[in-house]
Structure formats: structure tokens, C-alpha cells
Chain A
Amino acid sequence: MSLLSVRNVTMKFGGLVAVNDVSFDVEKGEVFALVGPNGAGKSTVFNLISRFYDPFEGEIVFDGENLLDHAPSDIAQLGIARTFQNIELFENATVLQNMLVGRHTHRTSNLLSELFFLPSVRRAEIAHRRAVEDAIDFLNLHAYRDQLIAGLPYGVRKVVEMGRAMAIGPKLLLLDEPASGLSMEETQDVAFWVEDIKKIRGITVLMVEHDMHLVASVSDRVMALADGKRLALGTPQEVQNDPEVIKAYIGAPDDEQEAA
């Protein structure tokens, strides 16, 4: 059984059909990439999985659970972590605090025990800290641990957001354009991390990315979207050579445009 299964999902914003009858399955242990021009509906697919929107039609099943039965704040608990295309960090908190929020689904204490900071809360805090330090080690964020997000450069913020998602300890990681706005070296780092996340950590990755070089080097399968519709699905090579995909990216030849 697939880890994530998106079936005939349609999403409309007013008259605009942002996602049009899209289906795909993400298998356990793979890196699955979503590509397509701007406005194709890629982020909307992520937001549907995060349950920020109710789909107009269709079904999303994760690990045997129908996601549509769950509230947005249950999604992390089920094992899905995500990053945002436009970085949504907690600006007035430190890197460490941001990543510790990622441990929220592992919270064992309640209001009273926290107000009095009982020994059990202290022990749990140290365990959370260990998990977060593990992500800090993995992503090399040591130098920024105690800095406020508000003062960090763009590239570092992207990495912190990935770290926060990893701190959840997810089964599925959704990365929305993890390399956009990054330098060549930073993009290379992202490629290594995605590879390690899959191979060493055994986390399945679903990612939206424009950098075709990065997509080709890390993903097992790719799905191309345009205008909310699925154009092609297959290995990176297959999708890159698909005539429909080439048409969507480069635009239809002149004569066809006239015919349409």
C-alpha cells in the first residue's frame, strides 16, 4: 500500500480551478517531486494535504487514515511534516525554540505540570532537546542555535524550516521549493540532505521544486502539473522528455496556438 494516496482531488477558489482531478501515489521510502510552472497548483496540493483547505472533490489517504477526517492540527501527529514556499518561521523566537515547537506532537505534559515545571516536564524537555540537537547536527545549524529568526539570512531560514519539520520525526516530509532563492552551494547541500533524509533516516519525501537539475538528481519519480491538471508522471527522464511537459514549459508552437 502506498504511504500517501491522492485520489481525484479537485480544488476550486471561486471560479478558479487550482487543482483539477489530480491523482497520484507516493510510495514509502521514495523521493517524489512535483514540478510545473508557477500557478500550476503545486502548493495548493501541499495545502490540501495539510488540510488547510477542504477539497471540492476527492480523497486523500495517508498511512491508512483518511486525512479528510482530520483537523489541520492533527496532521503532524499522523506523521506529516512540511515547509512553506514563503518560509513561515516563528520570527521572534530563537532557532532552538522554533525547532522545539516541532516537538509539540510529542508533548506529554499538561498545563498544570508545566506551570509548576514538575520534574517530569524537565525530563521531557531534555529529551526534546536531544531530538532537536540531532536535527541541528544533521543540518549543521550549531552556529545559529540561540539566534532570533528575525536576524537570520534567507538561506539559513530555509534550513531552519527544514530542521523544524524534521524535529517532528515524520514519516512523510513535504518540502515546498526547498532550494528556491538559494546559492549553488546551498542547493548542493539541500540535494545531499534530501538524499540522506531518504536513505539514512528512512523518511519519504514529497517535494515541489523548480530546479530541474536538483529534481533529476534526487527524485525517484516526478509528476508534472500545469493549470491544475496532471500532465505526466514517471521517472525524471520520462517526465522531462514528455511532449506535453515540454509544451507546457516552452509554450505551444505557433500553429497550434492559432488552432486553439
Chain B
Amino acid sequence: MRVQFKTSYDTDIRLFKDRYQLAWYAVLGATLIALPWLIDVFMLGEITNVLIFAIAGMGLMILVGQTGQASLGHAAFLAVGCYANVILQQRAGLPFVVAFPLAGLISGVLGALIALPMVRLHGIYLAIATLAMSVITEDIIIIAEPLTGGVGGLFAPDISLFGYVINRYGDPAAFYWFTLAVTLFCVWIYRNLLRSPLGRAFAAVRDSEVSAQAMGVNVPKTKAIAFGVSTFITGLSGAILGHYIGVFTPEAFNVLVSIQLLLMIVVGGLGTIHGAFFGALVIALLPTGIGMARDWLAANVGLTTTAIPGLETATFGVILIAFMLFEPMGLYGIWAKMRTYFELFPFYRQGMFVRQKSYLKTERMR
């Protein structure tokens, strides 16, 4: 095991713990940048999809994992980001470099405003309110047909970055790099939040609203800000998603997508950035994985499974239940245990991650 000697307060503030960690992430970063030369176009598209999901996952994670507020309506903000980005470009004639961040901001401001009346709700009530909001958003998009194309949907134009035109199919590598850059930006601001007063206020609200209040944290305001930051990031993801899928209708952002996003971060591991990425890998690659498994089964065992409807959803459900039962910390939990196992080898013992039971909170106030 590496022992780290801390010599200044800055050690706990900077982004990378030490040189080893920096080196690991440098290797990972270099691999990600070099990816278009390492894998084929199809897989590159899949990985781009993973990144888009990971961005949305980080957005939702800030709300659910960091601040402890449930949302079953985040697909609505994917939609807001997606539609705003395209409408700003096509109708308002704004260039992509302006429309894209503006779409995120619109989604963020809208999220914070919508949150204001909802922040006094807890748990299941908040989940239901966000669900309702998601349904209403879908309806509004359909009603606002002149602007949104109604049920017919919209075409996303090619991305134009300072005169350089990126088409998702014509230039998959550039599309991937752009998505990667946005992903890294989101990771960076997420990390910055975690090491700032606001990120700690989020955690305070998540773990004990009463004592957060006693520490001077304005709980409703903090929740609204969490909604805003969360929906800003989700909106950015939606804007890229629009260009990725090319044609979109309100259907692409229905309630099932919201639920999928929530399940994704639970499977990935709540409360960590890693969790958003692990969850995105599972959710974005699962259809491809199941497709490959089907082909393999058909070719080698002679079993045809294409007749089974809803196989993906069912598989995902089984995975989710398995995680709830055996690994509540999600894939991140498994990863953390493996890492510790190797760091401490051969001294790892079972029960190392078992937490002490919390004490009764009989007098707990809400």
C-alpha cells in the first residue's frame, strides 16, 4: 500500500491526490484521445454514446448522489437542452458555439426555477412531482408544434465549430473528441464543486437537513441550486444527444428515459463521478451486448432469442435488483473493493467495508 505524506493543506484541495494518480489519469486521458485510431467506427460511435450518457449521469448524480434529491424527470431536461440547442441554431440563427452553452443554461435556469416550489417535498413525493413535470414537458413540446415540430420532431444540423463542420457520420472522430471535451469539462466542474463550500452544502443537505440548517445552510436555496447545476449538465448532454441521433421527437425523452437515467447511476454507484461512468457503460453498451449475445447464441447454440420482447429491460431489471441486494454501492463499490484488495494484498479481510450501524434517530426532525 502506498502511504501518502501530506505536507500542506493544498494536498487535500488539488485535483489529483499524488503523482501516481496523476499518471493513471494521464494514461487514461491519452488512451481516450487516441481512441479513434484504436477502435473501429462502430465502436467509436458506441463510446460516444457512453460519454453522452455519462454527462447526463453526472448531471443527475449531482442531484441524487450528492444532494440526495430524487428526480424521475431528468429526461425532460435532456429534451430542453436538445430542443433549445437546435431551435437556437435553426430559428434564432445563432452559431453552435453560442447555442450549445446557452441550451445548457436555459435547461439549468429552468431546472432551478421549477425546483423552487418542489424543494419542500421529500423522497417519493419529490419523485412523483418530477415525474409529473417530465410528462408535462413532453406535452408542452408536442403542443408547441410551430417551434418544436410537434410529434414530427426536428432535424439537428451538423455541428459547426468555428467554420469546421462536424457530421456525426461523416466525421465520427471529431464528433467523439467534441463529446470527450464536454465530458472532461463536466468532470472538472463536478470535481470543483466537491472541493468547494457548495459541494459540502449539498452533502450536508443530503445527510441531515436539520443540522445543515443549524450550520447556516439555506436548505431550499441549496436544493434549487443543486437542481440548476444538475439540469445545466443534463441539458448539455441533451444538446449533444440531439446531434448524435440526428432526428428526434418528444418520444426520445419519455418517462422511461428518466427512469433509465436514475437506474444507471444507482447501478454505477451513487455519490461518485466514477458511478456515472460505470453506469453509462452498462446502459449504453447493454443493447449492443445483448445483441452480440443473441448472435452468439444463434450461431453456436442454435437458440433464437429475437422473439423475446423486452429482453433488454428485463436484463437491466435483473442487474439492478442484484446490485440493490448485493452491492448497494454499485459498480463503483466493486471497483473500490478490488483496488483496496490489491493495494493491501495479502491483508484484505472480509468485512472491511462493512459500516457501523447508524444510531437511532428518534428525535429526528424533518
Hey, what's the 0/1 contact readout for A39-76 against B, CB within 8 Å counting as 1?
A: 00001000100101000000000000000000111111
Chain A residues with Cβ below 8 Å from B217 are 73, 101, 104
Hey, what's the 0/1 contact readout for B208-226 against A, CB within 8 Å counting as 1?
A: 1011111111110000010
A133 to B12, CA, bound (A): 13
Structural contact, A129 and B215, CB atoms closer than 8 A: no
Structural contact, B207 and A91, CB atoms closer than 8 A: yes
A126 at the interface (CB under 8 A from B): yes
Structural contact, A73 and B216, CB atoms closer than 8 A: yes
Chain A residues with Cβ below 8 Å from B40 are none
Structural contact, A151 and B225, CB atoms closer than 8 A: no
Hey, what's the 0/1 contact readout for A98-135 against B, CB within 8 Å counting as 1?
A: 00111111010101001111000110011011100100
Structural contact, B13 and A89, CB atoms closer than 8 A: no
Q: Which of B195, B196, B362 sits near A86, CB closer than 8 Å?
A: B362
Structural contact, A89 and B208, CB atoms closer than 8 A: yes
A251 to B277, CA, bound (A): 63
Structural contact, A90 and B208, CB atoms closer than 8 A: yes
Chain B residues with Cβ below 8 Å from A52 are 210, 213, 365
Hey, what's the 0/1 contact readout for A136-152 against B, CB within 8 Å counting as 1?
A: 00000000000010111
Chain B facing A: main interface SS = helix
Chain A residues with Cβ below 8 Å from B364 are 86, 88
Structural contact, A109 and B358, CB atoms closer than 8 A: no
B345 at the interface (CB under 8 A from A): no
Structural contact, B363 and A121, CB atoms closer than 8 A: no
A-B contacts at CB below 8 angstroms, number: 135
Q: Which of A116, A130, A168 sits near B216, CB closer than 8 Å?
A: A168
Min Cβ gap A226→B in Å is: 19
A246 at the interface (CB under 8 A from B): no
Chain A residues with Cβ below 8 Å from B214 are 50, 72, 75-76, 81-82, 84, 88
A85 at the interface (CB under 8 A from B): yes
B308 at the interface (CB under 8 A from A): no
Q: Which of B203, B211, B229 sits near A84, CB closer than 8 Å?
A: B211
Structural contact, B196 and A125, CB atoms closer than 8 A: yes
Structural contact, B356 and A151, CB atoms closer than 8 A: yes
- The residue in B193, B213, B215, B360 that gathers the most chain A C-beta atoms within 10 A of its C-beta is B215
Structural contact, A151 and B201, CB atoms closer than 8 A: no
Q: Which of A91, A121, A152 sits near B196, CB closer than 8 Å?
A: A121
Hey, what's the 0/1 contact readout for B179-215 against A, CB within 8 Å counting as 1?
A: 0000000000100110111111101101110111111
Q: Which of A77, A126, A148, A168 sits near B9, CB closer than 8 Å?
A: A126
- Taking residues whose C-beta sits less than 8 angstroms from the other chain, chain A's interface range is 35 or more
Structural contact, A90 and B211, CB atoms closer than 8 A: yes
Hey, what's the 0/1 contact readout for A178-210 against B, CB within 8 Å counting as 1?
A: 000000000000000000000000000000000
Contact A125:B195 (CB < 8 A) given known A105-B216, A152-B356: yes
Chain B residues with Cβ below 8 Å from A212 are none
Identify the closest chain B residue to A125 (Cβ): B13
A152 to B206, CA, bound (A): 19
Structural contact, B9 and A107, CB atoms closer than 8 A: no
Min Cβ gap B67→A in Å is: 12
Q: Which of B199, B201, B206 sits near A92, CB closer than 8 Å?
A: B206
Structural contact, A114 and B271, CB atoms closer than 8 A: no
A154 at the interface (CB under 8 A from B): yes
Chain A residues with Cβ below 8 Å from B216 are 73-77, 104-105, 168
Chain B residues with Cβ below 8 Å from A89 are 207-208, 211
Structural contact, A86 and B192, CB atoms closer than 8 A: no
Structural contact, A107 and B211, CB atoms closer than 8 A: no
Identify the closest chain A residue to B225 (Cβ): A111
Min Cβ gap B115→A in Å is: 14
Structural contact, B197 and A90, CB atoms closer than 8 A: no
Chain B residues with Cβ below 8 Å from A92 are 203, 206-207, 271
A47 to B10, CA, bound (A): 37
A111 to B219, CA, bound (A): 15
Hey, what's the 0/1 contact readout for B125-150 against A, CB within 8 Å counting as 1?
A: 00000000000000000000000000
Min Cβ gap A181→B in Å is: 9
B359 at the interface (CB under 8 A from A): yes
Can you identify 24 A-B contacts, CB atoms within 8 angstroms?
A: A50-B213, A50-B214, A52-B210, A72-B213, A73-B217, A73-B218, A75-B214, A81-B214, A84-B214, A88-B214, A88-B361, A90-B208, A91-B207, A101-B215, A102-B215, A104-B197, A104-B216, A109-B197, A111-B198, A115-B193, A148-B355, A150-B356, A168-B215, A168-B216
Given A115-B229, A125-B13, output 20 extra A-B contacts at Cβ < 8 Å: A72-B213, A82-B214, A84-B214, A86-B359, A86-B361, A88-B210, A89-B211, A91-B207, A93-B207, A96-B12, A101-B212, A109-B196, A109-B197, A111-B198, A116-B192, A117-B192, A122-B10, A126-B10, A154-B359, A168-B216
